[in-house]
Chain A
Amino acid sequence: MKKNFRGLFFTPYVLWLGMFVIAPVALIFYYSFFDIHHNFTLSNYQEFFTSGTYLTMTANSVLYAFLITLFAILISYPMALVISKLKHRNLWILLIILPTWINLLLKAYAFIGLLSHDGLVNELFQFFGLPVQHMLFTDASFILVAAYIQIPFMILPIFNSLTDISDSYIRASRDLGATKWQTLTKVIIPMTMPGIKSGIQIVFIPSLSLFMLSRLIGGNKVITLGTAVEEHFLTTMNWGMGSTIGVVLIISMVIVMLLTNTKRKRRRA
């Protein structure tokens, strides 16, 4: 009787897991073994790993995702550090989270307005007597906007791990003679590593496949794996190849998870 009851509560979770996690992943794997004419084949994988185009695309995606993640950390960490020290820190963190509730498309268009040839930024440049810059459709603007989009997701876990640190650790460090900088590098940053790692996990993987931004802000000059997936499913209708790229993305996600999921417990004597 009791056991049945527990099973009842378990059902929605199992259904969810089966329908929206296991089944789609299985389908992606399944489709990746068929070519455009629905023949079973390994040619998709062969093509992916031998074609220069796909490999460069992968390298590019990884490089861009790496840069986006790096800039997100460089901006988020000091910001989280400052906010965690503020009096109304929960209000400030809410202000950081607020933009994530706005649709990504809207934000992208807002940036187009800001960065375009006649946009606000260029008007400011002209006001100060600087030459007009071509900012839209450049690698730099793509990384800038992508980092902007990802920053809230990076700040939140870092902020949480910072607020978890008891004041007495910082006092102990200062008491033992550490400067503020030493306290930051030897105590605060190592203790917030779990926060940084979950930030990387949340930011790096989606950054591998930001197809909408790469089109709207990068002007399709930046071709990431995400763009390729979209092209294969919607334009060339080569679902097999699109799924293969999907599998590659899933595997790289697993790799990033493994790299960032080092156990807290370290070596034992």
Chain B
Amino acid sequence: MSKTIVELKNVYKKYDDGFTALKNISFKLQEGEFYTLLGPSGCGKTTILQSIAGFTEVTSGQVLFDGKKINDIPANKRQLNTVFQDYALFPNMNVFENVAFGLVVHNAKKDEIQTRVHDALKMVQLEQYANREISELSGGQQQRIAIARAIVNRPKVLLLDEPLSALDAKLRKDMQYELRELQQDLGITFLFVTHDQEEALAMSDEIFVMNKGEILQKGSPVDIYDEPINHFVADFIGESNIIEGKMVEDYQVAFLGHQFECSDAGMRPNEPVEVVIRPEDLVITTPEKGKLQVKVDTQLFRGDYYEILAYDKAGNEWLIHSTNASTDDAIVGLTFGPDDMHIMRFNETEAKFNHRLESYED
């Protein structure tokens, strides 16, 4: 087990107007891992980042860095750096001066500044751009300079506040690879804030899903995608079909008038639940062979798959991802295996959820 570098203990943030931005936030960040705070805008993810960086004071609770409480330590004395959403590159300085800024304010020697700025620029593959003005750079280049500037002080933790949101889709995908590679090369902790679930799933070791000032679920991208704790997480991460059902007994769930074998357990008999089936886990077959019969409504060609929208007899909407096209208004059957279903209880806390999963999984 590696060392805890940042820890939040029961952190609350309340504003004067009564708005509570953070409700009892507690988590630990280990050294050398890639973490993502994922949530819709206004969920408090940036507030967490700012309270770690030192731009906002928490109302109560503790912020610990390397085991020491840093609540009252000003931002310039904290050994972590931030990549800002708008990059905040100083327009009055060129690329070299921007990257050197963190060293200059610490009165580093000239030749040390020279080598470290060069190294930082090399990390982001822009070493030949040292003498350019900021206004001469493209958005993607500015993004890299902002990263170079933030890593030049060799922080133990790098905070990234939606750094990719201003880039176009292609560049954003490239930068996901690069950020992940950079994090592994540097071996430091990244705390990445985003509202883009795709970014979070692609890059993170661990994701914290947030909504309304609370962390709903922590876990690896695969865990969060396959076993979302509640309706919000299932809906927010990826596409999903969520149907109300009833847990008849362990490994048996009923919905839409049928009973199915599933791989979840540990609930009360006949407890009302929600069932999640991902669109890519649904397989289209003939109506006779299908576990469910649905009528195709619309299809969208997405390039690598068809997105098919269908309705069952009860009027529930079904989203299906299929490599083959179907016919509009056709009645088709849908099959899925026991592992393709994930059962969610209503109002289950994360602790109870994890405990229940452990009770029947090996």
Where the two chains meet, the residues of A that have a C-beta atom closer than 8 Å to any C-beta of B are 166, 168-169, 171-179, 182, 186-187, 190-191, 193, 265-266, 268-269
Number of interface residues of B (CB under 8 A): 32
**Within 8 Å of chain A (Cβ to Cβ): is B1?**
no
- The residue in B55, B77, B89 that gathers the most chain A C-beta atoms within 10 A of its C-beta is B55
Interface stretch (choices B4-12, B29-37, B99-107): B99-107
User: Contact between A191 and B91 (Cβ–Cβ < 8 Å)?
Assistant: yes
B153 within 8 A of A: yes
Question: Does B301 interact with chain A (Cβ within 8 Å)?
Answer: no
Q: Quote the shortest CB–CB distance from B189 to chain A (angstroms).
A: 16
Apart from A171-B75, A176-B149, 8 more pairs, CB < 8 Å: A166-B88, A168-B88, A171-B55, A173-B90, A175-B82, A176-B101, A177-B153, A182-B105
A186-B105 contact in complex given A171-B55, A171-B82, A177-B153, C-beta closer than 8 Å: yes
Residues of chain A with a CB closer than 8 A to B135's CB: 265
Partner of B105, one of A176, A191, A268: A176
User: B298 on the interface (CB 8 Å rule)?
Assistant: no
Please name all residues of chain A whose beta carbon is closer than 8 Å to the beta carbon of B53 when the two chains form the complex: 171, 175
Verify B76–A178 contact, CB threshold 8 A.
yes
| Shortest Cβ gap from B230 to chain A (Å) | 34
Q: How far is the CA of A193 from the CA of B90 in the complex (A)?
A: 13
Q: Is B81 an interface residue (CB 8 A)?
A: yes
- Considering the complex, give the chain B residue whose CB is closest to the CB of A189: B92
Which chain B positions have C-beta within 8 A of A173?
A: 90, 101, 105
| A265 x B133 contact (CB < 8 A) | yes
Residues A177 and B88 in contact, CB atoms below 8 Å apart: no
- Bound CA span A269–B81, Å: 29
> Beyond A168-B86, A187-B90, is A175–B133 a contact (Cβ under 8 Å)?
no
- Is there contact, CB below 8 Å, between A175 and B90? no
Q: When the two chains form their complex, are residues B149 and A190 in contact, meaning their CB atoms are under 8 A apart?
A: no
Which B-chain residue is minimally distant from A190 (CB atoms)? B92
Chain B proximity of A268: nearest CB distance (Å) = 8
Nearest residue (CB) in B for A171 is B55
**Which residues 101-136 of B have a CB within 8 angstroms of A?**
101-102, 104-106, 130-133, 135
Residues of A within 8 Å of B104, CB to CB, are 186
- B84 at interface, CB cutoff 8 A: yes
Residues of B within 8 A of A193 (CB): 92
